[in-house]
Amino acid sequence: MDRIDLRSDTVTLPSPGMREAMAAAPVGDDQYGEDPSVNRLQERVAALLGKEAALFLPSGTMANQIALKVLTRPGDDVIVGEEAHIVWHEAGAAAANSGVQFTVVGRGGLFTAAELRAAVKPQGHIVFPPTTLVAIENTHNRGGGVVFPQDEAAAICEAARGAGLASYLDGARLFNAAAASGRSLAELAAPFDLVSVALSKGLGCPVGSLIAGGRSEIARAVRFRRMFGGAMRQSGILAAAGLYALDHNLARLPEDHANARLIAERIAGTPGLLLDLATVQSNIVIFKLEAGAPDAATVVARAKAEGVLVSAFAARTVRAVTHLDVTREQCRRAGEVLARVAAQR
């Protein structure tokens, strides 16, 4: 049976063209600054994001962890939206590596400048943990791939600066946010001190993220990359996949968004299935299952038996993600299967 894998946009396989670009990449020892492919990718992504410099990293988790190291000190308080990747999906790394605590504000991953201002704990107080950083996720994974409203992001970063806080954008899916909003990457990144992007999600690369910002922050990030064991050598083989993806896979992201919409519109209205179509703004479809409907594990198992792979994101929450290795026709079929198995009692 033809397998339709919607568990994540990380399951994509490098295409023959991408593999050729990787095989042909000029390389050198990146820790001597001598890998021309890494250097090209870093310069290109810094320019795309409108920042002075960028640094190539093995993963988005490392990008988030380095951002925390660069912008906070142990004991600091970091403000985030609900169910942020940096809180939920990084195995406790923020506590272990940077010793920070989180304050969660807003709803569904989104929040306002007013909510930020109300949550900031002043620096220099004798009992409060000082709030030193605000981190936004765009698009927001567990929020269903929603795009963070840009006017609000700008207002949040301005309020942050006014209160002496740094700002960080977890842009693992910023390419999707740009495609969905019609705004440029540079515009989305502009309000923030540090910004990350992932190559291994919608762009279809096997490995890689970058963090971008001012020269002095990126110089500090170089040290923390080494500290975390993420400094690489002939990593131009991996960077070449990123350069290839920017040329070939970036412009097609709207197809993934249209396919997610196709699935969402097919399954919305299924009895027992709760889906807010307003959250389906990019390549992620998250739905909940009411009491009386099968739970997430049951829906995942039934769909798998019909060749459709999706993820149980919580006991009654399921996630499906579209990407360049699934066709529109496969997404149409996946919508049929999900609606059917969710409706079975």
Residues that bind ligand PLP (CB under 6 A): 59-61, 64, 85, 137, 141, 170, 172-173, 198, 200-201, 209
Q: Please report how close the Cβ of residue 313 comes to ligand PLP at its closest, in angstroms.
A: 12
Please name the residues in contact with 223: beta carbons below 8 A apart, sequence gap of 6 or more: none
- Of the pair 45, 341, the CB lying nearest ligand PLP is at 45
Tell me the DSSP string of 214-232.
-HHHHHHHHHHHHHTT---
Which two tokens mark 140? 């927001």
Give the phi and the psi of residue 8 in degrees, each rounded to 5: -165, 160
Of 80 and 160, CB closest to ligand PLP:
80
CB of 285 to ligand PLP, least distance (A): 15
Minimum distance of ligand PLP from residue 143's CB (angstroms): 10
Query: Minimal distance in Å, beta carbon 171 to ligand PLP?
Result: 8
Measured from each CB, the residue nearest to ligand PLP is 60
Closer to ligand PLP by Cβ: residue 137 or 217:
137
241 vs 341, which CB is nearer to ligand PLP? 241
Comparing CB distances to ligand PLP, the nearer of 324 and 342 is 324
Give the number of other CB atoms < 10 A from CB of residue 121.
16
Of 241, 254, 183, 234, the C-alpha closest to 210 is: 241
Half-sphere exposure of 325 (CA within 13 A, CB side): 23
Q: In the complex, what is the shortest distance from the CB of residue 9 to ligand PLP, in angstroms, rounded to a whole number?
A: 9
